[in-house]
């Protein structure tokens, strides 16, 4: 925590780690099941309160997550961490229930064109299908959380009316969902858009907890977090090392980085309950497994007051 007090009314934030699902789903090289389990267990041990652990999608569609059932079976459960799993349809919901996930996450887009590209359904078709998912989850005693992709803009349509997002959120509330995520799938979010959408959904679906999920495509992911904090939003999603990116968005880049988000929050005097040094260690260990550099900054630079010996750099001459 910095010497100064918090600069927003938010004093504690729940951070969801989406790296095990969103972060690696588009990686070409298969991440061994045991490594996935290891990283999730380390995230739990670091104090992460909610983890999007995997997705029960068709193995043909997302080969990287074909081992969803094995991953859930191998993880060491903790009463302090919610293990959520993404499902695309009723079949996925049944598999997720059999795996005894703590929470089911459904997803759709606020724009018709991206929803067609992403899940090959219209917006209304997706909402109709979620009614069956909600029933399966309810019968299994599993809460449902709904994500809304392209909440801040669509790569094919451009601006997405805030009314589209609010309508879907209201439908989620009517189906008994416990929360919703604003997905910045395209990295088109800006602070004014964050403000407008948070306020609109708060009015349209006041019973839903709001979660902000930003990508850093245009370099202002953390600025959008600050905008969300000023609107009182206290739940955010991020991925270790800044991994991820939607395969159905041209020129998409990764999620905001978990360690960078934690650093920002802790320096603002906001509690998360997460050990940032353990997250840095996880991100550094994920990088060689994926086989390419990750964009996270704090994993490279360390924390603000991490000091270095004088002889670690040369002395200027002249």
Helix (H) / strand (E) containing 281 = helix 276-290
Q: How far apart are CA 183 and CA 186, in angstroms?
A: 8
Distance from C-alpha of 170 to C-alpha of 191, rounded to nearest angstrom: 23
- Counting beta carbons within 10 angstroms of the beta carbon of residue 203, is it exposed (0 to 12), middle (13 to 18) or buried (19 or more)? exposed
Is the distance from CB of 264 to CB of 228 less than 8 angstroms? no
**At a CB cut-off of 8 Å and minimum separation 6, what does 25 contact?**
55, 62, 64, 65, 244, 247
Residues annotated as part of the active site: 246
Task: Provide the 3-class DSSP secondary structure of residue 84.
Answer: strand
- Strand spans (E) along 78-234: 82-86, 103-109, 144-149, 179-183, 209-213
Taking residue 63's Cβ as centre, other Cβ atoms within 10 Å add up to: 14
Structure tokens given for 8: 């927003």
- Residues 316, 308, 294: CA angle, nearest 5 degrees: 100
């Amino acid at each position: 925590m910095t010497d100064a007090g918090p600069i927003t009314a938010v004093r504690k934030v729940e951070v969801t780690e989406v790296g095990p699902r969103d972060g690696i789903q588009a990686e070409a090289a298969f991440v061994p099941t045991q490594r996935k389990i290891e990283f999730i267990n380390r995230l739990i041990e670091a104090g992460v309160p909610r983890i999007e652990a995997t997705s029960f999608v068709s193995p043909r569609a997302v080969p990287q997550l074909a081992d969803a059932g094995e991953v859930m079976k191998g993880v060491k459960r903790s009463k302090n961490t919610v293990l959520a799993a993404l499902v695309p349809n009723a079949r996925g919901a049944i598999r997720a229930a059999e795996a005894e996930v703590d929470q089911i996450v459904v997803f759709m887009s606020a724009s018709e064109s991206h929803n067609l590209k992403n899940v090959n359904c219209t917006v209304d078709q997706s909402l109709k299908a979620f009614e069956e998912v909600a029933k399966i989850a309810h019968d299994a005693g599993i809460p449902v959380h709904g994500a809304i992709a392209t909440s801040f803009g669509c790569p094919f349509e451009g601006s997405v009316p805030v009314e589209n997002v609010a309508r879907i959120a209201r439908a989620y509330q009517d189906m008994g969902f416990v929360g919703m995520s604003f997905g910045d799938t395209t990295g088109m979010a800006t602070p004014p858009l964050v403000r407008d959408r948070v306020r609109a959904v708060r009015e349209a679906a006041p019973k839903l907890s709001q979660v902000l999920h930003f990508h850093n495509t245009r370099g202002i992911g953390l600025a959008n977090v600050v905008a969300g904090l000023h609107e009182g939003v206290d739940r955010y999603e991020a991925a270790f090392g800044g991994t991820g990116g939607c395969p159905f968005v041209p020129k998409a880049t990764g999620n905001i980085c978990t360690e960078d988000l934690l650093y920002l929050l802790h320096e603002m005097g906001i509690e998360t309950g997460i050990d940032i040094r353990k997250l840095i260690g996880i991100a550094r260990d994920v990088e060689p497994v994926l086989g390419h550099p990750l964009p996270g900054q704090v994993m490279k630079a360390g924390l603000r007051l991490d000091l270095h010996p004088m002889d670690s750099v040369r002395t200027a001459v002249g």
